[in-house]
Amino acid sequence: MRPPIRHLSFTYYLTYDQLTEVVHDLAAAWPEFVRLHAIGQSHRQRTLWLLEISNWTTGDEKSKPGFYIDANIHAEEICGTSVALYTAVTLLRDYGHDPLVTRLLDEQIFYIVPRVNPDGAEFVQQLPFYEWIGNGRFLPGEEQSGPGLHYADLDGNGLILDMRVRDDAGEWKASSLDPRLLLPRSPDETGGVYYRLLPEGRLVDWKGGDFAVPRPQDGNLNRNYPSNWVPESQQYGSGEHPLSEPEVAAVVRWILDHPNIAGMQCYHSHSGVILRPWLTFPDSHFLGEDKLLYQSIGELGVAETGYPLISVFEDFTPDKSLKRYGSSIDWSFGALGIPTFSTELWDVFRAAGIEREDFYPLRNFAEQEWLKLLRWQDEALGGEGFMPWTPFDHPQLGPVELGGWKRMLTFRNPPPARYLEEMAQANCRFTLRHAACAPQLRLRDCTATPLGGRLWQIRAVADNPGFLPTSLSAQAVAMRAAPPVVAELTSPAPLRFVQGTPRVALGHLAGRLQRHTAYSRFYDWPASAQPLEWLVEVPEELPLSLTVRVACPRAGAATATIQLLSSTSIQIEPAQVAAGRSTKVQP
C-alpha cells in the first residue's frame, strides 16, 4: 500500500506549497521510479522542481533516450501544471498495467517540470483574474511605469477586470440582445451610446485628455531563450539578455546537461491548438523531412485531443512583422534539433460550441457567437465567468462601470472541476505517443566464428526499429547537435585488432520516418541497419568474455556478451537493450 499523495486532485489548481507537497509525495510513494530534483530558484526564491521518472532497473540516462515536459511558463497558464502532473501520475500508476506506459518507462526517462514560473503562478492565484504573464522580477502593480493607466483593483473585490467608460468617441456599444456584451461600433455609426473599454485601474501622472496603458515590464519567459533573441525594444518581455531570467536559465541548463533528450512537450494555454515550428520562419525553412516529422507525430495529437496542428508563424501570427522571438520551441528544435510541440491547452470557444478557422484568440467574433459564449458560462459556470457591469465612481474619470470576463478561469484556463481531468488525460496520451516515436538501438545476429589459432571473427548488426532516425531530425544534423551511433568491442583481457578498431562511428541509422513511401528507383532509402565486423586475436587463456555495444545519446544503447568457452565453443547472452526488449542472437 503506497502512502497517500496530498493535493493530487484535478478539480482545483495548485498553489506553490501544494505543488511542492505533491512532488515530494510522489517521490516518497514511488521511490523505485522517481528522483526529485531542485533544478533552480525563481526571483523570489521558489524552487523549480523536476520529476525524473523511469524504471531504473533497465538502465540510466547513458543507455536510454529521454523525454522532457514542462508547463506554466506564463503565470496565468496554471492548467499546464495539472496536465504535467497528470502525466507523471499516469506513468507511475499505470506501469505494469498499460503496455505503452510499461514499455516507455522500461525504455526511456521522463523529465517533468510541472511549473517553470512559480512566482508568477502564485501571484495570479493570490490576486485572481489578474491578467499577468510575468515572473518574479516585478510584482503585480509594480510592472508598469510612466504616465498612463495602471492596473489596479479599484473596488477592493480582489479582481482586476475591465472598465467601460461612456465616451462619444468610444469604439464599443452594448448589444441590444444582452447588455453585458460589448460589440464593435460600425465605421459609419453615430448617435448612440458608446464606450471605451479599458483595464480596471487608476491614472498616474494624468494631465487630462487621452491616455495610454503603459506596456508592462512583467516579462515573458518564453521570449528569453537564446535562439533568435531580440532586445526588449523589439520584443515585449524578452528580458535584459538571453537567459537573464533564472527560471529559463535553469531549464536550459538541465536540457543541455541531458543530451539523451529525444523529444519535448511544452504546455501553454489558451486556444486549443498543437503548435509546431517555426515561430520566426515560414515552413520553407524546414530541412529534409522535418516538416513531415512534425506532421506525422502531430497527427497523433490531433487524434487524441481533437486540437488542430498548426505552425506558429504560418497560422498563429496574424501580423507577420510581429514575430515571436526567443522562444523555447525555436531553441529546442532550431538549435538542438529536438522535435518539440507546444500545446495551447483549452479552447473556451470550442467548449461553447463555436466553430472557427482562425486560431489566434484576439479577434472580434460575431454577435451570435459572443451570445453563445455568454450562455455557455451562464449554464456551465453558473454565471461565475462574467461579472455584470457595476457602477463605480472612479476618482479621476468619474462614473464608470466595472465588470467583464473573468478571463483566467474562462479564456485562459478551463473551470477545473468540470473540464480539467478530461483535458489532461487526452493531452497526456499524446505526449506518451510522441515519446514512443523515439529512435531505438538494437543488436541482432551476433556471431563469433573461430578462424584457427587465436583468431576470431566477431559479427553483429546494429539497427534502429524506431520511427525517428538516431539523429532525430535534419535540423539536428545541420546544427551539429546529433552525436553519431558508436559501436565498441571490448574485453577484460587485451585484444589485438587485426581488422577493425575497438571503437567505430557508424554515423546515423534511419528510422521509419525516412521510409514513408514504397520503394522507388528514384529515391534512396537511408540505411536503418549497419553490419559490424571485427577480426581479433584473443589471449590463449579461455574462457574469455567479449562485449559488443552500440550507443547513441538520443537513441540509448544495446549490448551483447559473447563468451568464448574454448577454441570451438561459444555462448552468446541475449543482448541487453535500452528499449527493454530481447535481442536476437545467433551463435
pLDDT > 90 in the chain, percent: 78
Cell of 301: 495529437
pLDDT band at 129 (very low <50, low <70, confident <90, very high): low
d(CA 559, CA 572): 11
**Cis? peptide before 187, omega within 30° of 0:** no
Q: Where are the domains of the chain?
A: 16-124+218-349+423-435, 146-206+365-409, 442-577
Average pLDDT over residues 354-364: 72
pLDDT band at 586 (very low <50, low <70, confident <90, very high): very low
> Are the C-beta atoms of 446 and 548 separated by less than 8 Å?
yes
Average pLDDT over residues 42-67: 96
Q: What is the mean pLDDT of the chain?
A: 92
64 has pLDDT over 90: yes
Q: pLDDT digits over 313-347, tens only? A: 998 888 888 899 999 999 999 999 999 999 999 99
**Could you tell me the CA-to-CA distances from 245 to 233, 254, 559 in Å, in that order?**
17, 15, 42
pLDDT at 362: 56
Considering only CA atoms, which of 147, 144, 154, 162 is closest in space to residue 210?
A: 147
Q: pLDDT digits over 499-535, tens only? A: 999 999 999 999 999 887 777 777 777 899 999 999 9
Read off the pTM.
0.94
d(CA 316, CA 357): 11
DSSP state of 576: E
> Are the C-beta atoms of 335 and 299 separated by less than 8 Å?
no
> Are the C-beta atoms of 463 and 444 separated by less than 8 Å?
yes
What is the longest distance spanned by two Cα atoms in the chain? 106
pLDDT at 581: 36
Q: Classify domain 442-577 by CATH number.
A: 2.60.40.10
> Are the C-beta atoms of 427 and 303 separated by less than 8 Å?
no
Cell of 173: 456599444
Class of domain 16-124+218-349+423-435: alpha beta
